[in-house]
Structure 1
Amino acid sequence: MLTLQNLTKTFGDKTAVHKVSFTVDRPMMIGIIGRSGAGKSTVLRMLNRLSDASSGSILFEGKDITRLKGAERRSWQSRCAMIFQQFNLVPRMDVVSNVLHGTLNRRSTLATMFNLYPDGDIHKAIEILDRLGIAEQAPKRAEALSGGQQQRVAIARALMQDPAIILADEPIASLDPMNAQIVMQALRRIHEEDGRMVIANLHTLDTARRYCDRVIGMRDGRVVFDGAPEMLTTDAAREIYGADTDFSEAATSTEIETLDRPEVHSPEVFAEAYA
C-alpha cells in the first residue's frame, strides 16, 4: 500500500531526514519512536504533503505522492488525515463544528464562508463523536473540554475526512496517563474496526509495544530499527535513543496500566505477546 524510498529532507545544510525507506503492505498500526529531533515529525509532514521532500519518493497504491500538485495534492491530504499534539481546534467554536471542518476540502467556498453543512454531515459528525464517547460534548465550545476530550475531537475531525491513512504526530505528548490511554485505545479501535492505516509518532516504548503492530525507530534522521513490538528490547532502545548502559525505560514510560490489554489487541496478538 505505502512505500517510502530514500525519502530525504534538508533544511539548508542540515539533513533532518536521511534516505528513509520502508514498505507497508497492508493496513497496520505503526509507531515511530525516537528522541526529539530524530526526524519523526518531518516524515509525517512529508507523508501528508505539509512539507515537500528534498529527494526520494512516497508511493501509495502505486502513485507518487511527492509529485502531486494543486487539487490532487489537496485530495491526497483528505485521504491522509493529520492529528497534531496541540489538537489544532478552533477554541471558541462548538465541538460538532470543529468536527465538520474535516469536510472543508470537499465543500464550496460559499458554503465554507457561511458555515453551511448538509444534514447528513452533521449526523455523521455526531455519530463519530458518539463512537469516541463524547457525543454529549457536541454543543460545547472546544475550549471547555479537557485535553483528552479535545484530542478525541481532533480524531473525530480526521475521521470526517474518511481517510485511508491517519497520521498522529505525538498525539498523547501533552496528556496525562489516563487520557493518553483513552486516546491510544481510540486510535487502535479505528485501525481494527475500520481497517485504516494509523502511523503515530510516539516518545514512549511501553505505548509503542502495547498498541502498535510494527515499530520504526529513528535516530538522527535515519531508520535504525524496524520490527515487531516484541523485538523492541532494551538493547534496541539504547540504539534508537543513543543511550549508554545506564538507559532506563522508566525515563520513557507513560506508566499506563496494562490490565485491559486484551481489549487492545486481538486474542492471537495478546497470546503471542505473553508467550
Structure 2
Amino acid sequence: MMQVKSVTRIFGQKAALDDVSFAVEKPGFVGIIGRSGAGKSTFLRVMNRMTDATSGSLMFDDRDVLALEGGAKRAWQSQCAMIFQQFNLVPRLDVVSNVLHGTLNRRSTLASMFGFWPDDDVLKAFAILERLDIAEQAAKRAEALSGGQQQRVAIARALMQDPKVILADEPIASLDPMNAQVVMDSLRRIHDEDGRMVIANLHTLDTARRYCDRVIGMRDGRIVFDGTPDQLTTGVARDIYGADASFNEGATSTAIETLGTEGDDAYAQSMMA
C-alpha cells in the first residue's frame, strides 16, 4: 500500500531525514517515536508535501506522491490529512466552520471566504462532531474550547477531507492525561471503524505501546527500530533516545519518556549555521 524508499531531507549541512525506508502493506496504526531532532515531524511534513524531500520516493497506491505537482499534489494533501500539536484552528471561527474548512481543497476560494457551505457538507460536519462527542460545542468559537476539545475539532476537520491517511504530529503533547486519552481513543477508533491508516508521532513509550500496531523509532534522521509494541523494551528505547548511560535501570524508562517533544524542522534548521 505504501513504500518509502531512501527518503532524505537536507537542511544546509544537516540531514533531517537520512535514507529512510520502510513499507506498510495495509492500513495500520503506526507510531513514530524519538527525541527532538530525530526526524519525526520532518517525515510527516514530507509525506504530506508541506516540505519537499531532497531525494527518494514515497509510493502510495502505485503513485510517487513526492513527484506530484499542481492539482495532483493538492489532491494528495486532501487524501493525507494533518493533525498538529497546536491544533491549527481559526480561533475566532465557530467550531462547525473550522470543521468545514476540511473541504477547502475541493471548493472555490470565493465560496469559502463568504461561508457558503453546501447543506450536505454542513450535515456531514455535524455528524462527525457527534461521532467525536463534541457536537454540543458546534456554535462556540474554537478559542473558547479546552485543548482536548480543540484537538477533537482538528480531528473532525481532518475527517471532513475523507482522507486515506491521517498524520498526527504530536497530537497529545500539550494535553493533560485525561484529554490525551480521549484524543488517542478517538484516533484509534477512527482507524478501527474506518480502516484508515494513522501515522502518529508520539512522545511517550506507554502511548505507543497502548495504541499502535507498529512502532518506528528514529534517531538522527534514521530508522533505528521497526517492530511491534511488545518489542519496545527499555534497552531498545535506550538505542532510540540515546539515554545517558548514567541513568539507573529503574529511572531510565521514566527519563526516556520525557524526551523529544519539539519540532524537527526547527531543530534541523538551527543546525545549518
Give the alignment's TM-score, normalised by structure 2. Answer: 0.91
- 2:110 aligned counterpart, secondary structure: helix
Choose 110-119 or 214-223, whichever is displaced more.
110-119
Is the Cα contact below 8 Å between 2:243 and 2:252 reproduced in 1? no
Matched, 1:31 2:31: yes
Q: Deviations over 1:125-159 (max 9, x none)?
A: 00000000100000000000000000000000000
Letter in 1 for 2:228: A
Distance 2:244 2:216 in 1: 20
Q: Which of 249, 252, 259 is the matching residue for 1:248?
A: 252
Is the Cα contact below 8 Å between 2:237 and 2:256 reproduced in 1? no
Distance 2:242 2:45 in 1: 24
Distance 2:143 2:48 in 1: 26
Q: In the TM superposition, what is the alpha-carbon distance from 1:12 to its structure 2 partner? A: 1.0
Change (3 A) 1:20 1:163: same
Residue of structure 2 in register with 1:197 after alignment: 197
Distance 1:252 1:164 in 2: 32
Distance 1:52 1:127 in 2: 35
Distance 1:211 1:114 in 2: 40
Distance 1:178 1:249 in 2: 21
Q: In the TM superposition, what is the alpha-carbon distance from 1:249 to its structure 2 partner? A: 1.8
Is the Cα contact below 8 Å between 1:9 and 1:15 reproduced in 2? yes
Task: Provide structure 2 residue ranges, at least 5 long, that are not aligned to the other structure.
Answer: 259-273
Residue of structure 2 in register with 1:70 after alignment: 70
Letter in 1 for 2:70: G
Residue of structure 2 in register with 1:271 after alignment: none
Q: Deviations over 1:226-248 (max 9, x none)?
A: 00000000100000001144262
- 1:248 aligned counterpart, secondary structure: helix
Percent sequence identity over aligned pairs: 71
Distance 1:166 1:15 in 2: 25
Distance 2:257 2:66 in 1: 35
- 2:93 aligned counterpart, secondary structure: coil
Choose 154-163 or 236-245, whichever is displaced more.
236-245
Distance 1:98 1:88 in 2: 10
- The count of residues paired between Structure 1 and Structure 2 equals 254
Distance 2:255 2:188 in 1: 24
- 1:56 aligned counterpart, secondary structure: strand
Residue of structure 1 in register with 2:85 after alignment: 85
Q: In the TM superposition, what is the alpha-carbon distance from 1:253 to its structure 2 partner? A: 5.0
Residue of structure 1 in register with 2:264 after alignment: none
Residue of structure 2 in register with 1:267 after alignment: none
Distance 1:116 1:36 in 2: 41
- Alignment root-mean-square deviation, CA: 1.0
Q: In the TM superposition, what is the alpha-carbon distance from 1:112 to its structure 2 partner? A: 1.4
